[in-house]
Homo-oligomer: A and B are copies of this chain.
C-alpha cells in the first residue's frame, strides 16, 4: 500500500465516478454513503453541507475511507484511507457547481436547500490500493 494514488487512477476524478465514503459515528461504528469525489493534486475532496451526519462525523473523527469504482468497469477501483486535514466553506459553493458540471452536465448544482452551507473536506491519502489495471 502506498500514500500515493497511482497516476493511472487519477482519471477516475475526471469521470462520473462515485466514492463511497466511510466515516465514524460517535460510538465508533462506521457509516457509508455515495459521494462525488474530486482531487486537487494533493487531497481527495468531498463536498457536503454543514450539519449533515458525515459533516459532524468528519469534524469529530477525521479518519475516513473511500472506495471509488470506475464507472466503465466496476472491477477497477481505488481504495483510499486517510484523514480529513482541512474543512472549509471557502470556495465550496463554486466547487459543488463544478462537480455538478462533471456529474450532471449542469452549470449550477440543482439540489441546494434553503440555508444550506456547503463545505469542502480535504482528505490526505495515507494508504491507497487499487484493483484492476
Residues of A within 8 A of B (CB): 16, 18, 20, 22-24, 28-34, 63-67, 69, 74, 77, 79, 81
Q: Which residue of B lies closest to A75 (CB)?
A: B34
A interface: dominant SS = strand
| Complex contact A30–B34 (CB within 8 A) | no
Contact: A31 with B74, CB < 8 Å? Answer: no
Q: With a CB–CB cut-off of 8 A, which chain B residues contact A28?
A: 24, 28, 63
**What is the total number of copies of this protein in its complex?**
2
Whether A65 and B22, one on each chain, are in contact in the complex, defined by CB atoms closer than 8 angstroms, is yes
Is B32 a contact of A22 with CB atoms below 8 Å? Answer: yes
Q: What residue of chain B has the Cβ atom nearest to residue A80's Cβ?
A: B32
Q: Are A67 and B30 in contact (CB under 8 A)?
A: no
